[in-house]
Amino acid sequence: MKRRTVQDVMTERVVTVNEDAPFAEIAETMAEHRISGVPVLDAAGRVTGMVTEADLLRKQEYKDGGARRPVLDRIRRRGEAEAKAAAVDARGLMSAPVVSVAPNTSIAQAARLLNGHGFKALPVVDDDGRLAGIVARRDLLRVFQRSDAEIRDEIIDDVLITKLWQDPADVDVRVEEGVVHLTGRVEQKSLIPIIVRLTAATEGVVDVVHALGYDHDDTRPAPYPRA
Per-residue pLDDT of the chain (227 residues; tens, 9 = 90+): 567 889 999 999 999 999 999 999 999 999 999 998 999 999 888 999 999 888 888 776 665 555 455 544 554 455 565 566 667 889 988 888 889 999 999 888 898 898 888 888 999 999 988 999 999 988 888 888 889 999 999 999 999 999 999 999 999 999 998 999 999 999 999 999 999 999 998 988 999 999 999 999 998 876 666 65
Q: Are 171 and 212 in contact (CB under 8 A)?
A: yes
The proportion of the chain whose per-residue pLDDT surpasses 70, expressed as a percent, equals 85
- The pTM of the full predicted model, rounded to 2 decimals, is 0.66
Contact 186, 214 (CB under 8 A): yes
Instruction: Determine contact, residues 5/106, Cβ cutoff 8 Å.
Output: yes
The predicted pLDDT at position 67 comes to: 47
Which domains does the chain possess? 6-143 (3.10.580.10), 146-216 (3.30.1340.30)
